[in-house]
Amino acid sequence: MSAAFTRRGLVLGAAALGVAGVGPALDEDVVGQPLRPWRRGGLDIHHIATGRGDSTLIIGPDGTSMMIDAGASGTPPPASLDIRPGPERRAGEWIGRYARRHLAATGEPRLDAFLVSHLHPDHLGDVGPDTPPAPNGAYQLTGVSDVAALVPIGLLVDGGYPDYAFPRGVDAPFARNYVAFVRERVRAGGRVERFRVGAADQFAPRRAAAALPDFEIRNLAANGEVWTGRGTETRRLFPPIESLARDDIPDENACSAAIRLRYGAFGYFAAGDLTSNSFDGALPWRDVETPAAQAAGPVDVAVAAHHGMFDATGPDVVRALKPRVWIIQAWHAAHPSPDALERMLSQRLYPGPREVFATGLSPANELAHKWLTDRLAARGGHVVVRVAPGGGSYRVVVTDNHDEADRVFSISDHRRS
């Protein structure tokens, strides 16, 4: 499977790029060696590649930690998925172990916050005949609940709490299991909040002795509500749900939570499975991703929503975000769609160099879209964005997900201009 990852191995130290004021700390990742631990002042964003869904671990400059999603799709997983590091553990266990070993550097291996972008199995964990019960029997261990069993979670946030009724609720075993996990957590005194669109304080740094004025996580959108870019003001895109034909009611993807992270001049966009599809103009209000991206403005690094599928990352999303780096959380043969990847690479939508990293490109996808996938900067592995203290430069480090050694596959450096 060695062909599944990039051979670029580009190594350019910050000093070689003439980056002023960065210091030597960024220079220590070496191809073939384990990823160096997080350091105070730096911002690390890990896109964890298990082959079964999405998960992102963020370690802020003060050590405040956050996870977005812990997917575990398919239980048992179909043979078509390339599971990493392997089938001997559940995806949520691999993710929890990953978080535990990388959070050790903060001195406090806990997740200060966990954001569930939306209620789908590849973001919170499926249940099936092979899913074991939690020790107390209140729910089953998968995805988010598997992570919670391994790493304490301070605040759990999702778009549906407390009633999980909008726009019409999700009635499926994985959703019932997640809600049972939430109810048990609340009963035991754990904190759970509904995602507050427009807020910049729900995921505020929690470990700094003083405020971190250069660091912000802004809640951009969820449930059809979008930040306007002014204060904490929002607007609602969806018509009253009761006025809609059944087929027009927004699905769970369209309700995904989106955030923008800023550290100094560095910007990052992530939006779960939010979509920009207006059904060829028939339902313009179903495109939540475009106004969310426009509220975010240009960023350095953007995660392609909905795994780079055809119905997301529309042209106006690309024009608004203009990232230097795209990351596709890919694990299925359908990820990414060629039209979405073409837009990410388009010089007409915005000019300039860029790199597109995929966490796991399947051989079938590569075969179908080779003229585009040949242009990917990475085709498999954990994709780690390491932002230097202050946000003036960053690097993208791809690491090996065949085992838990976190060996570096490739490094590419970016200085903000």
The residues of the shown chain that bind Zn ion, judged by CB under 5 A, are 122, 273
Per DSSP, the three-state class of 221 is strand
- Residue 52 CB, nearest distance to Zn ion (Å)? 11
Smaller CB distance to Zn ion: residue 122 or 355?
Answer: 122
Dist. CA 67–CA 98, nearest whole Å: 11
Nearer to Zn ion, 112 or 273 (CB): 273
CB-wise, 122 or 400, nearer to Zn ion?
122
Total residue count of the chain as it appears in this document: 417
CB of 382 to Zn ion, least distance (A): 18
Minimum CB distance to Zn ion smaller for 309 or for 372: 309
Q: Identify the bridge partners of residue 157 per DSSP, sorted by sequence position.
A: 115, 193
Helices (H), 82-152: 91-103, 121-124, 144-150
- Cβ nearer to Zn ion, comparing 14 with 305: 305
The residue assigned the tokens 């990410």 is 344
Tell the smallest beta-carbon distance from residue 110 to Zn ion (Å): 26
Minimal distance, residue 178 CB to Zn ion, in Å: 14
Query: What is the smallest separation between the CB atom of 77 and Zn ion, expressed in angstroms?
Result: 15
Cα 153 to Cα 5, 145, 163, 169, 304: the distances in Å are: 32, 10, 21, 25, 26
Closer to Zn ion at the Cβ: 275 or 290?
275
Shortest Cβ distance from residue 118 to Zn ion (Å)? 8
Q: Which is nearer to Zn ion, 157 or 408 (CB)?
A: 157
Maximum separation of any 2 CA atoms in the chain, in Å = 60
Determine the residue type at 290.
T
Helix (H) or strand (E) holding 364: helix 363-368
Residue 134 CA, distance from chain mean position? 26
Least gap, CB of 303 to Zn ion (angstroms): 11
Give all strands of the β-sheet with 225-227 in edge-to-edge order: 234-236, 225-227, 215-222, 258-263, 266-270, 301-303, 325-328, 355-358
